[in-house]
Amino acid sequence: MGHLSNEDERAAACARLFCPAVVRAVLRWLRRLGVPLCHRTDVAGQVWLDAWESWPRFDPKRGRPERWLNAITVHVASHYRERMQYRREELVDLIDLPDPAPDAFAAMEADSIRTGAVDAVNELDPQLRFVLRAHDLDGIPMAQVAEDAGLPLSTLYKRRTNALGALRDCRSPSARHEPQRDPRGRRRG
């Protein structure tokens, strides 16, 4: 049996290193090196990044791949500890946040808007109201609404567009002063 070539040795080393058991070993090494659990996976990611970047320089004749990876782990962990010495967290007083619950005026205003929207929908032509209620309020897909109503999908989309336009017209201040128009654009009495 002959000796393995350098490339074959590197391939075997790569297969030994990049496996789940060695990933767990790196996390154990970092625990022993004092890296806190909350930072351990980030530091392990840096270990693997450094290993990947320095892999072209790895020489299997100089030692086992696990020892090489352990040296990288020790190096990354020591730099982590150096950076941690200079990290400062400043604690501040608690910020007084406003109560997220709506006040009485906001609740009344929301009820008024909701009631106005329901009234506006109820005043729509029944065909337009049907599409809005089924699709927008009940959440039924338009294809299902079309199938249930026995209508082409394009017809329902046109009715929905007309219904939304009619609702916008009801809501705009200028609509109150102009003669009312039906959804097809004709003036009403």
pLDDT tens digit sequence for 150-160: 999 899 899 99
Quick one: CATH architecture of 113-176? Orthogonal Bundle (1.10)
Whole-number pLDDT of residue 5? 73
Instruction: Round to whole Å and give the CA distance between 28 and 25.
Output: 5
Q: For residue 90, name the pLDDT band (cuts at 50, 70, 90).
A: low
Beta strands in the chain (DSSP E): none
How many alpha carbons lie under 13 Å from residue 73 in its C-beta half-sphere? 24
Sign, CA dihedral 147-151-154-159, equals negative
pTM of the model: 0.42
Residue 185 has pLDDT above 60, yes or no: no
Q: Which residues contact residue 27 at a Cβ distance below 8 angstroms, ignoring those fewer than 6 apart?
A: 40, 41, 44
CATH number belonging to domain 6-85: 1.10.1740
Mean pLDDT of the chain: 80
Q: For residue 32, name the pLDDT band (cuts at 50, 70, 90).
A: very high
First to last CA, the chain: 104
Q: Where are the domains of the chain?
A: 6-85, 113-176
